[in-house]
Amino acid sequence: MASNGRQSPYWFARHSRSVIFLIVTLALVGTFIAFTIPVAVFPATNFPRILIGVDNGVMPIDQMMVTITRPLEEAVNSVPGLQNVRSVTSRGSAGIDLFFTWDVDMFQTLRYVNATLSRVQAELPASAKIEAHRMTFASFPIMGYSLTSNTMEPTKLWEMATYEIKPRLNRLDGVSTVVIQGGQEPEFHIIPDPAKLLVAGVTVPDILVFAAPAVAQPAPGYSVVRTMLLGGDGGWDYVYADSGARRLYIARATRFMVVDLDSSKLVAEIPDTPGAHGVALVPDLGIGFTSNGRENTSSVFDLKTLKASEKIKTGEGPDAIVYDPASGNVFTMDGHGKSASVIDPKSRKAVATIPLSGKPETPVPDGKGRMYINIESKGTIAVVDSKADKVIAEWPMAGCDEPSGLDMDLDTGNLFAACGNKLIAIVDSKTGNLITTIPTGDGSDGLAFDPKAKLAVTSNGEGNMSFVGKRGGKYALIENVAIRRARAPSGLTRPPASS
């Protein structure tokens, strides 16, 4: 209303109170809805689709088709409302998509499918694992990549996907599972010539023996087979397995636990080792040595009674420790002192100190008079003449930050260093050249090389172990194996090489 009692010619002025009331009401309702109505990224939609997944190890594709995929396709044809069936079969796995009409009850249909699978399960190989899932938006956080090539064979594409691409995708945050379908695994068809076999004096069983390593199926993967629950106070550092005596030595801050490898029971403890880091055993003399980092000493103990008898003064901050059979001496890596102390186990005295360019970490002797030491603060490997007690070379490892764990393939002479930036650096001990670096898990610290499996293994603080070995003639990450998420013992050590 105008001030003179007449109506305003403007609509908003005439209805201002109603408009303001409506705006306030909508704002309040919107606020209420924002805090009370559940919100999802995707709406709840029932797709008329069910996926059957089958896992059967490494069964060849042809056998998978005949013994698993086809019987399942025939069995599910009786499910009401089924319109179409599509399947993809690869070595050891198969995926069967069932498409239904939109008007079916998918919860009831899933029950029909599971009942059908239960009936047919007895006719399938006992090793086959079968699961059925109803497809919803929540089931599709999936990304697919297709590898094609006009020049590379399907077997090469499969090897690239399995040994190069899959391990890298598995390391990405948020990735749960990577499945490879299609391609062609390398296979060999041998046709013997009877006449040539007779001339050469070779039988068919002889051929099978020689061909077995080439056609052996790859292992399905590594997994944790046993866990030792040790308990007790104190942090962890190096663990050392004495396979001969079946004992495991574990550093626990102020003491060493000695555990029976077969029963997982505590055998004894070696006390009074402040700043406990590692042990080195000298079986010929029946004694062992510890590194006591906070005391700048090494304790001498009896391998039979596990009783300590004396302490030897070392350099400042002894950490890793190793026995070198070639020189007959024990070496402690003195982190704070940037040196290595040399202990004569016969006289039980420190007989020399080797100056180093930086903070040393894990040493590894080659059993022939050379010792290789990670220099953590420099990102290098120092080469020590263990008989002359002096550094004779130092090799840089480009791209490797703060190397800690170190071990060696004595057959090839290659060194494997665990780097702090999620890498393993592989170095040729004959030339000092960096061969390659391989990505690993985060927080990599300890490293050990398995001479039988030809694998380097790291313990990673993020809660897994990385297995690195050769595939197709090249080093690659084979697998990351999950373990309990906690700070694992930082060192994985093995007995030194014999001279």
Predicted local distance difference test score (pLDDT) of residue 55? 84
* Same domain assignment for residues 302 and 186: no
Q: What confidence tens digit (pLDDT) does each residue in 228-258 have?
A: 878 788 888 889 999 889 999 999 999 999 9
Most confident of 57-66, 101-110, 291-300, 461-470: 291-300
Decide if 380 contacts 388 (C-beta within 8 A): no
Predicted local distance difference test score (pLDDT) of residue 486? 42
Looking at the domain assignment, is residue 499 inside a domain?
A: no
Query: Which of 114, 139, 164 is the last residue in one of the domains?
Result: 139
Whether 323 has a pLDDT exceeding 80, the answer reads yes
Which stretches of 5-152 are DSSP H helices?
11-14, 16-36, 61-64, 70-76, 106-121
List C-alpha distances in Å: 224 to 464, 465, 470. Answer: 10, 10, 22
Looking at the domain assignment, is residue 385 inside a domain?
A: yes
* Same domain assignment for residues 21 and 72: no
Q: What confidence tens digit (pLDDT) does each residue in 110-134 have?
A: 889 998 898 888 888 888 888 888 8
Q: What confidence tens digit (pLDDT) does each residue in 16-49 have?
A: 788 888 888 888 888 887 776 655 544 556 678 8
* Same domain assignment for residues 29 and 84: no
Phi, psi of 329 (to 5 degrees): -110, 165
Number of H helices, E strands in the chain: 9, 29
User: Total structural domains in the chain?
Assistant: 4
Whether 14 has a pLDDT exceeding 80, the answer reads no
- Is the pTM here over 0.85, yes or no? no
Q: What confidence tens digit (pLDDT) does each residue in 346-402 have?
A: 999 999 999 999 999 999 999 999 999 999 999 999 999 999 999 999 999 999 999
List C-alpha distances in Å: 352 to 309, 339, 345, 367. Answer: 22, 10, 13, 19
> How far is it, in rounded angstroms, from Cα 94 to Cα 73?
11
Question: CB 222: neighbour CB atoms within 10 A?
Answer: 15
- Amino acid 278 reads G
Most confident of 210-214, 381-385, 476-480: 381-385
* Same domain assignment for residues 325 and 269: yes
- Burial (CB count within 10 angstroms: exposed 0-12, middle 13-18, buried 19+), residue 172: exposed
Predicted local distance difference test score (pLDDT) of residue 282? 97
Looking at the domain assignment, is residue 449 inside a domain?
A: yes
> How far is it, in rounded angstroms, from Cα 376 to Cα 290?
21
Going by their DSSP bridges, the two strands 297-302 and 287-292 should be labelled as antiparallel
Mean pLDDT of the chain: 85
The number of CA neighbours under 13 Å toward the Cβ of 482 is: 5
Query: Which of 110, 139, 168 is the last residue in one of the domains?
Result: 139
Predicted local distance difference test score (pLDDT) of residue 187? 62
The helix (H) or strand (E) run that includes residue 250 is: strand 247-251
Looking at the domain assignment, is residue 327 inside a domain?
A: yes
* Same domain assignment for residues 362 and 481: yes
Q: What confidence tens digit (pLDDT) does each residue in 131-160 have?
A: 888 876 555 556 677 777 888 777 777 778
- Strand arrangement of the beta sheet that strand 455-460 belongs to: 444-450, 455-460, 464-471, 474-482
Looking at the domain assignment, is residue 219 inside a domain?
A: no
Whether 490 has a pLDDT exceeding 60, the answer reads no
* Same domain assignment for residues 53 and 132: yes
Q: Which residue has the higher pLDDT, 44 or 99?
A: 99
Phi, psi of 19 (to 5 degrees): -65, -45
- Burial (CB count within 10 angstroms: exposed 0-12, middle 13-18, buried 19+), residue 86: exposed
Looking at the domain assignment, is residue 76 inside a domain?
A: yes
Predicted local distance difference test score (pLDDT) of residue 141? 55
Q: Which residue has the higher pLDDT, 168 or 8?
A: 168
Domain of 299? 238-493
Among 86-90, 180-184, 339-343, which stretch is predicted with the lowest mean pLDDT?
180-184
Decide if 70 contacts 124 (C-beta within 8 A): no
Looking at the domain assignment, is residue 130 inside a domain?
A: yes
* Same domain assignment for residues 442 and 380: yes
Whether 272 has a pLDDT exceeding 90, the answer reads yes
Most confident of 50-59, 67-76, 258-267, 426-435: 426-435
Q: Which residue has the tokens 């050379």?
A: 370
Question: CB 490: neighbour CB atoms within 10 A?
Answer: 26
* Same domain assignment for residues 166 and 55: no
Tell me how far apart the terminal alpha carbons of the chain are, to the nearest angstrom. Answer: 109
* Same domain assignment for residues 106 and 169: no
* Same domain assignment for residues 82 and 196: no
CATH number at residue 373: 2.130.10.10
* Same domain assignment for residues 26 and 58: no
Whether 266 has a pLDDT exceeding 90, the answer reads yes
Looking at the domain assignment, is residue 466 inside a domain?
A: yes
> How far is it, in rounded angstroms, from Cα 444 to Cα 78?
53
> How far is it, in rounded angstroms, from Cα 142 to Cα 490?
36
As beta bridge partners, residue 49 has: 99
> How far is it, in rounded angstroms, from Cα 434 to Cα 397?
6
Whether 4 has a pLDDT exceeding 80, the answer reads no
* Same domain assignment for residues 340 and 369: yes
